[in-house]
Amino acid sequence: MSNCAVVGINWGDEGKGRMVDYFTENYDIVVRFQGGGNAGHTVINGLGKFALHLLPSGILRSGVVNVLGNGVAVDPENLWIEMQEVMSRGVAITPDNLKISDRASILIPWHRDMDELEEMRLADKKYGSTKQGIAPFYSDKYQKKTILAGELFYSEELKEHLADLMEWKNLTLTKVYGAKPYTMEKLEKWIEDYCDRIKPFICDTSAFLKNAQNSGKNILFEAQLGSLRDLDYGIYPYTTSSNTTAAYAPIGSGFPGVKIDEVIGVVKAYSTCVGEGPFVCEMFGSEAEELRKNGFEYGAKTGRPRRVGPIDIVATKYGVEVQAATAIAITKLDVLSYMDKIPVCTRYIQNDRMIDRFPFPAALKSAKPVIEYFDGWKCDISGVRKWEDLPKEAREYVTFIEEQICCPIKYVSVGPERESIIIR
Ligand code: GDP
């Protein structure tokens, strides 16, 4: 029996979904422990290509039980739509392979409205939200002003609770933003159309996980986004509103006493960042456009072009530390095959001094990247399955990163498909 967390080391979009899909062969249960439908895990396997937003990536392996833990922002509307999409492609989703924590808080449609209204108010100072309601949702969760999934089983009390919340929320919607107020009819329709549909999947997932562990099952914890988007350790305020770090997995999964044996940090072979905020190693112009095109770097949820740059050793080393990663999976190495010389951001310069420690968020703006170049390998490596078959230049690139970030790179991904991987 062993447990493992698969987490992002950078700004998100590292390929965590692809790695979880690969690892689930050895796990019985996959648990999402934070975040909501604001990111997308793209998974390609024998069933086709899937963009998962809220569903754990283990949903695509038969026999794996998937859990949405209490730390997740459960949006009944988007979850139900996503379930329909995935089921229409031949994947069975039943209460046997999907379980939603009764202690998970529910994202109410007004959270999405609030997100949109606030981004509009911020105009050119916006944070680059995906407008899925995540920040308003978590603010309300911590103000104790949303509902728990388990409340859907107590319909009279639920309506009373929602009416109170609506009265409070309408004040902000109408008086602060000049938007239309909610009505109970609208909320009742939302309950009927979406909340009632997900009810069969809601249960005491804490008891389920504890029993599963006692009977020797292996649990994989799947994170969303990456270290640099963690609410407490990331590039605040350009973070997400939850903790993306492995340390949060026990709390957000509903199994506070669980021991996590291995933390696999996923690092992309170059850098990408969606939305606003400091991104020291950012590339611009045709160099950036070429990398974006080769890596197909457009957001899975929003389709927005991602900002791109070389791998950033300073940020990655910090990300490894924050996650307390025990092993690394490096993804998308194949994307760099077109480059003659591969840039690497090895340090930052700040106030005329070289630094290798990731700075405080407010200090990032004045940091400049130090770029060094490695020889490219200039050949297709997507069919390589053994470390020794990789070109020497590719091995040198991976080994250099490994030494710099002080964590063993055990997995090298050379394509999006399940089997396109080299195990070291
Ligand atoms: P996640 O949110 O961390 O799961 O990452 P995304 O799904 O947003 O982005 C990763 C993208 O890279 C997806 O489109 C994957 O199919 C793709 N991908 C993952 N690993 C590799 C790889 O090794 N090579 C290539 N070419 N694509 C990859």
- Cα within 13 Å of Cα(338), Cβ side: 9
Please write the tens of the pLDDT for every residue from 358-406: 999 999 999 999 999 999 999 999 999 999 999 999 999 999 999 999 9
Does one domain contain both 350 and 222? no
* 196 counts as catalytic: no
Instruction: State residue 37's pLDDT score.
Output: 87
Does one domain contain both 88 and 138? no
Q: Is the CB of 330 under 6 A from ligand 1?
A: no
Q: Which of 199, 222, 254 is the last residue of a domain?
A: 199
Q: Is the CB of 36 under 6 A from ligand 1?
A: no
CA-wise closest residue to 389 among 417, 353, 346, 423: 423
CA distance 194 to 177: 27
Q: Is the CB of 39 under 6 A from ligand 1?
A: yes
Q: Is the CB of 56 under 6 A from ligand 1?
A: no
CA distance 166 to 144: 13
Which atom of ligand 1 sits closest to the CA of residue 20?
4
Sheet holding 98-101, edge to edge: 202-203, 98-101, 65-68, 29-32, 219-226, 4-8, 262-268, 327-331, 409-413, 421-423
Mutate to test the pocket of ligand 1, among 11, 20, 227, 331 (most ligand atoms within 8 A of CB): 331
Given 21, 28, 41, 111, which residue is catalytic? 41
Phi, psi of 164 (to 5 degrees): -65, -45
Instruction: State residue 38's pLDDT score.
Output: 81
Expressed in angstroms and rounded, the spacing between residue 413 Cα and the centre of ligand 1 is 9
Which residue shows structure tokens 């004040």? Answer: 171
Mutate to test the pocket of ligand 1, among 306, 332, 423 (most ligand atoms within 8 A of CB): 332
Expressed in angstroms and rounded, the spacing between residue 329 Cα and the centre of ligand 1 is 12
Instruction: State residue 274's pLDDT score.
Output: 87
Expressed in angstroms and rounded, the spacing between residue 50 Cα and the centre of ligand 1 is 11
Strands (E), 58-126: 65-68, 98-101, 105-106
- Angle at CA of residue 106, ends 102 and 110, nearest 5°: 170
Does one domain contain both 297 and 393? yes
Please write the tens of the pLDDT for every residue from 352-362: 999 999 999 99
Mutate to test the pocket of ligand 1, among 14, 16, 18 (most ligand atoms within 8 A of CB): 18
* CATH number of the domain encompassing residue 134: 1.10.300.10
Q: Is the CB of 8 under 6 A from ligand 1?
A: yes
| Stated pTM of the model | 0.94
Instruction: State residue 119's pLDDT score.
Output: 85
Does one domain contain both 163 and 64? no
Does one domain contain both 191 and 277? no
**DSSP β-bridge partners for residue 330:** 267, 412
In angstroms, how far apart are the furthest CA atoms of the chain? 67
Helix 313-323 vs helix 392-405: angle between axes, to the nearest 10 degrees?
A: 60
* DSSP codes joined into one string, 212-256: HHHTT--EEEEEEEEGGG-TTTSSTTSS-SS--SGGGHHHHHT-T
**DSSP β-bridge partners for residue 99:** 67
Domain that holds residue 404: 270-323+332-423
CA distances from 39 to 157, 261, 265, 298, 364 (A): 32, 26, 17, 12, 24
Does one domain contain both 98 and 109? no
Which atom of ligand 1 sits closest to the CA of residue 414?
23
Does one domain contain both 302 and 367? yes
Instruction: State residue 300's pLDDT score.
Output: 62
**238 and 12 in contact (C-beta within 8 Å)?**
no
CA distances from 57 to 65, 175, 303 (A): 10, 41, 20
Mark residue 423 as left, alpha or beta (left: phi above 0; alpha: psi -120 to 50; beta: remaining): beta
Q: Which of 182, 199, 216 is the last residue of a domain?
A: 199
The segments of the chain whose pLDDT lies below 50 read none
Q: Is the CB of 102 under 6 A from ligand 1?
A: no
CA distance 111 to 133: 4
Does one domain contain both 309 and 372? yes
CA distance 81 to 50: 14
Instruction: State residue 42's pLDDT score.
Output: 82
Please write the tens of the pLDDT for every residue from 109-125: 999 999 999 988 887 77
* 53 counts as catalytic: no
* CATH number of the domain encompassing residue 72: 3.40.440.10
Q: Which of 172, 199, 226 is the last residue of a domain?
A: 199
Q: Is the CB of 51 under 6 A from ligand 1?
A: no
Does one domain contain both 283 and 382? yes
Does one domain contain both 210 and 89? yes
* CATH number of the domain encompassing residue 277: 3.90.170.10
Contact residues for 174 (Cβ-Cβ < 8 A; gap 6+): 180, 181
Q: Is the CB of 20 under 6 A from ligand 1?
A: no
Number of domains in the chain: 3
Does one domain contain both 281 and 352? yes
Which atom of ligand 1 sits closest to the CA of residue 331?
23
Q: Is the CB of 275 under 6 A from ligand 1?
A: no
Contact residues for 81 (Cβ-Cβ < 8 A; gap 6+): none
Does one domain contain both 216 and 92? yes
Phi, psi of 324 (to 5 degrees): 50, 50
- The 10 Å Cβ neighbour count of residue 360 is 9
